[in-house]
Amino acid sequence: MKALISILLFYFISGRSVYAKFIDTETFQADLNFYEIKIERTNHLGLHQEDVLMKDERGYFFNSRSLGKKIPTEIAEIWSSLEKGPDRLENGFTNRRAACSSGNYIYSKMIRTGLPGKIDQRRGCTEGKLYARIIQKIRMLKDFAGRI
Amino acid sequence: MGKKTLRNKNRIGNFLLSFQWLFWISHSRPIFMVIFAFILVIKSWALESLPNENLNDQNYQILFNKIEKMRQTLAQSAQSSGPCSGKVSENCSFLEICKNFSGSEKEAYLYQDNKGHQLPNYPLLSTVSQAEACLQKPFLKAPIQDPFLYPEQFINAGKAGGKKELKRNRNKLEKEKRRAQEIFKDAQEKTISMLHKKGNPSNLGQIEALIARVKSVRLESAELGDGEVTLSAAGCEMPNAFYQRESDKVVLCPQVLNLPEGTLFQILSHELGHSIDPCTLAFSYSKNKMLGYTQNTSEFFFGANEKYEISLPAFSPQSLPIKNVLSCLESNKEMDLEVPSQSVLIQNIKKEMASDPENPYLEARVEQVSKNYNQYKYCSAISGQENIQEAFADWVSAEALNEKVSNQVNASQNKKVTFEFQLFMAGIDCENIKKASSEWASDLKHDQKNKCIDIKSTLADNSEAAKRTHPKSQDRVDQILLTKPENRKALGCLQSQTAAHGKNCEL
């Protein structure tokens, strides 16, 4: 009985993820949930702007500003949509463009592995509804960062 | 919290976790249960007490004061800004133009004409708005009341400072839209007139085709809508202007409408230049009653289609009426304008595919380059770079200015327009201006203990995207704009060019 209680206690106190980490300490360093996302854009006049989203063991960060370890559901939805990133095929070919007139953006996600990180890069034009939605989400994160 | 310290904390956490094995072994002994419960509490404390990013009050106050001071500096300089004139020594170069900003690098505006049209200090303003984002609570008001810098002041009465101010801002916007239309018309006329003069019996048909293309272009001022989202969808998240190939129009964002006349003339004539750049000329256009001229983009994806009536025919790279200018510009090795060959492009994409095998985009790109290189090699979707198109559009704008100042007898007006012509590029790329904004950024970095470490200026020279889109500003001015004799004369330069200047390319 004592053994059963102790097993259950251990399970609830430690939690699955911590248990997984303790099995292999390397996994702790290579957690796929730790990443940095950079959304850089340069417009046709040469003006440049970038925003950086980061998640690590300390929590969520937007442009180096800490958003805390837990974020509200609606912000978490925005965050996960930005984490997923724009569709890979949303580029010069598939949206029927031979060039980006207004400028280009580069979305890059670097998964933290402790070793040189893996970078996933996507490009697109700095115009259109899909781009505006990305900017709107960035704005909502900015506003949230300003409120906390 | 430094990376090393963080790693040490993780090690402590993992070390404590490793004791949990003993928990399994000793489950039947209550004393061990107590000990290990204690260990678990310690462990969870170790994980929870990982770096806390909250600034302590003293640091925060220092940061707040610095940002407040920056805002005050901007506000004061904006209030005291007045008309100024440009001075350039007779050697005439981009660096000479930059000297004009000496002493005003930390001001909100770098230049103002006698009608109140201004060139904002974009790098510095961007640094300050990024810095503001580091604060725990945002400032309610922008540091400067200028709707062209903060377009929300065109939409929101609270941001504008009241209903009266909102109305005044909107009236100003309409007035500047009309002024932009006039400058656009002037740029169109000067470009057409310049092309006429390049005509001779052997190239008359080609010149007429170029003129028809320039004539077909319309100017559209982007609508404000609900603000940021509408502007972003229109390509106006930041101050911007561009030629939209699909719809044959120049889009002008509200943020650039208050620029000085010469600066707007440069931007608009450059964008008109894109209507005859080597990528646009590779496409045919059809005329539509409702939409005006529209690009037959499907040619790029599916090949030519006989179903639609062509109003403006396409040119192959071999038959381009502008090929002499292109080869002249490409011969300038300093500007790195050469378009890579088809085999080099395919080789490079295949290298990328090897490192990123799951990317379907790369496969599509190989297919496009194989199929479309011959007709569309000057388009960035094929070559991966836009420098040659940009350099060509600069050549058109330099020729349009040359035409404008050669027709005007007022020397001081010519000098003013020619000086203002270089301003946008100088305003974002002069070293002294970049230095001033990075000084402010690093001043904030110093005191923030790892907070807001990513403050960067708006300058794009370090970004990968920028390298693909534009030649360097210094080259654009010295190698193209200042090679035209009338432009040099207007600015009071020595007529003989120095080694710093490029060739005067001709059609």
Parallel, antiparallel or unpaired: strands B249-252 and B218-221: parallel
Q: What share of chain B is helix, strand, coil (3-state, %, to 5)?
A: 60, 5, 35
Q: Does B458 touch chain A (CB under 8 A)?
A: yes
Parallel, antiparallel or unpaired: strands A103-111 and A65-68: unpaired
Region B385-394: mean pLDDT is 92
- Between B217-231, B305-319, B385-399, B414-428, the lowest mean confidence (pLDDT) is in B305-319
Query: What pLDDT does residue B296 have?
Result: 83
Whether B298 has a pLDDT exceeding 80, the answer reads no
Query: What pLDDT does residue B197 have?
Result: 95
Cβ-Cβ contacts under 8 Å for B425 (sequence gap 6 or more): A46, B94, B473, B476, B477
Where are chain B's structural domains?
A: 3-48, 340-376
Question: Measured between alpha carbons, how far is residue B372 from residues A86, B283, B382 in Å?
Answer: 26, 12, 8
Q: Does B50 touch chain A (CB under 8 A)?
A: yes
Q: Report the residue of A127, A133, A144, A148 to disrupt the B interface, i.e. the one with the largest count of B CBs within 10 Å.
A: A127
d(C-alpha B74, C-alpha B260), whole Å: 20
Residue of chain A nearest B462, judged by CA positions: A48
Output the six-digit token pair for B343. 């085999």
H helix intervals, B198-260: 204-216, 228-233
Output the six-digit token pair for B298. 């499907």
H helix intervals, B275-410: 298-302, 323-330, 342-355, 360-376, 380-383, 387-406
Q: Does B234 touch chain A (CB under 8 A)?
A: yes
3-state SS, residue A39: strand
- Kindly determine whether residue B10 and residue A28, on different chains, have CB atoms separated by under 8 Å: yes
pLDDT tens digits, B444-479: 765 555 455 455 543 334 444 455 567 889 999 999
Q: Report the residue of B238, B243, B468 to disrupt the A interface, i.e. the one with the largest count of A CBs within 10 Å.
A: B238
Cβ neighbour number for residue B496 with a 10 Å cutoff: 7
- Kindly determine whether residue B130 and residue A42, on different chains, have CB atoms separated by under 8 Å: no
H helix intervals, B49-152: 57-80, 94-99, 122-132
**B102 contacts B30 by C-beta, under 8 angstroms:** no
- Kindly determine whether residue B463 and residue A50, on different chains, have CB atoms separated by under 8 Å: yes
- Torsion, Cα of A135, A141, A145, B1 (10° steps): -100
d(C-alpha A34, C-alpha A30), whole Å: 8
**B480 contacts B387 by C-beta, under 8 angstroms:** no
Residues of chain B with Cβ-Cβ distance to A59 below 8 Å are 53
- How many CB pairs (< 8 A) connect A and B? 219
- Kindly determine whether residue B134 and residue A3, on different chains, have CB atoms separated by under 8 Å: no
Longest dimension (CA), chain B: 105
**B8 contacts B51 by C-beta, under 8 angstroms:** no
Region A97-117: mean pLDDT is 75
- Torsion, Cα of B485, B324, B373, B218 (10° steps): 50
Q: Does A118 touch chain B (CB under 8 A)?
A: no
Q: Say which of B18, B238, B425 has its CB closest to residue A43.
A: B238
CA distance B378 to chain A (A): 10
* DSSP letters for B252-320: E-GGGTTS-HHHHHHHHHHHHHGGGSTTGGGS-EEEETTTEEEE-THHHHH---TTSPPSB----GGG-
3-state SS, residue B501: coil
Whether B225 has a pLDDT exceeding 50, the answer reads yes
d(C-alpha A126, C-alpha A45), whole Å: 12
Q: Does A111 touch chain B (CB under 8 A)?
A: no
pLDDT tens digits, A4-49: 666 655 555 544 333 333 333 344 444 567 888 999 999 999 898 8
Query: What pLDDT does residue A21 have?
Result: 35
Cβ-Cβ contacts under 8 Å for B356 (sequence gap 6 or more): B362
Question: Measured between alpha carbons, how far is residue B365 from residues A128, B245, B348, B464 in Å?
Answer: 22, 20, 11, 19
Residue pointed to by tokens 């678990």? B40
Residues 163-222 of B with CB under 8 A from A: none
Q: Does A86 touch chain B (CB under 8 A)?
A: no
- Kindly determine whether residue A63 and residue B50, on different chains, have CB atoms separated by under 8 Å: no
Q: Does B242 touch chain A (CB under 8 A)?
A: yes
Residues of chain B with Cβ-Cβ distance to A133 below 8 Å are 229
Whether B246 has a pLDDT exceeding 80, the answer reads yes
CA distance B497 to chain A (A): 27
ipTM above 0.90, yes or no: no
Whether B74 has a pLDDT exceeding 90, the answer reads yes
Q: Report the residue of A1, A5, A38, A47 to disrupt the B interface, i.e. the one with the largest count of B CBs within 10 Å.
A: A47
Supply the Cα-derived Rg of chain B in whole angstroms: 28
Q: Does A32 touch chain B (CB under 8 A)?
A: no
Confidence of residue B38 (pLDDT cuts 50, 70, 90): low
d(C-alpha A114, C-alpha A28), whole Å: 10
Region B63-70: mean pLDDT is 88
Whether B485 has a pLDDT exceeding 80, the answer reads yes
**B325 contacts B195 by C-beta, under 8 angstroms:** no
Q: Does A119 touch chain B (CB under 8 A)?
A: no
Q: Say which of B17, B233, B469 has its CB closest to residue A104.
A: B469
A22: amino acid identity, one letter: F
**B67 contacts B81 by C-beta, under 8 angstroms:** no
Whether B181 has a pLDDT exceeding 50, the answer reads yes
Confidence of residue B308 (pLDDT cuts 50, 70, 90): confident
- Kindly determine whether residue B242 and residue A101, on different chains, have CB atoms separated by under 8 Å: yes
Q: Which helix (H) or strand (E) holds A104?
A: strand A103-111
**A28 contacts B7 by C-beta, under 8 angstroms:** no
Q: Report the residue of A36, A42, A51 to disrupt the B interface, i.e. the one with the largest count of B CBs within 10 Å.
A: A42
Rounded to an integer, what is the distance from CA B200 to the centroid of its chain? 37
Residues of chain B with Cβ-Cβ distance to A40 below 8 Å are 463-465
**B462 contacts B472 by C-beta, under 8 angstroms:** no
Confidence of residue B440 (pLDDT cuts 50, 70, 90): confident
Residues in chain B: 507
Q: Does A95 touch chain B (CB under 8 A)?
A: no
Q: Say which of B138, B233, B251 has its CB closest to residue A146.
A: B138
Q: Say which of B360, B365, B456 has its CB closest to residue A50.
A: B456
H helix intervals, B217-291: 228-233, 261-273
Residues of chain B with Cβ-Cβ distance to A25 below 8 Å are 14
Q: Give percent above pLDDT 70 in chain A.
A: 66
DSSP 8-state class, residue B223: P
3-state SS, residue B293: strand
Query: What pLDDT does residue B443 have?
Result: 79
Question: Measured between alpha carbons, how far is residue B87 from residues B36, B476, B493 in Å?
Answer: 78, 19, 11
**A148 contacts A59 by C-beta, under 8 angstroms:** no
d(C-alpha B187, C-alpha B189), whole Å: 6
**B289 contacts B465 by C-beta, under 8 angstroms:** no
Nearest CA to B427 out of B128, B100, B176 is that of B100
d(C-alpha B176, C-alpha B169), whole Å: 10
- Between A127-131, B31-35, B373-377, B432-436, the lowest mean confidence (pLDDT) is in B31-35
- Kindly determine whether residue B135 and residue A50, on different chains, have CB atoms separated by under 8 Å: no
Q: Report the residue of A7, A8, A45, A123 to disrupt the B interface, i.e. the one with the largest count of B CBs within 10 Å.
A: A45
d(C-alpha B285, C-alpha B295), whole Å: 5
Query: What pLDDT does residue A89 have?
Result: 53
Average pLDDT, chain B: 84
DSSP 8-state class, residue B237: S
Residues of chain B with Cβ-Cβ distance to A42 below 8 Å are 460, 463, 465-466, 469
**A9 contacts B207 by C-beta, under 8 angstroms:** no
d(C-alpha B186, C-alpha B268), whole Å: 10
Q: At B408, give phi and psi (nearest 5°).
A: -110, 130
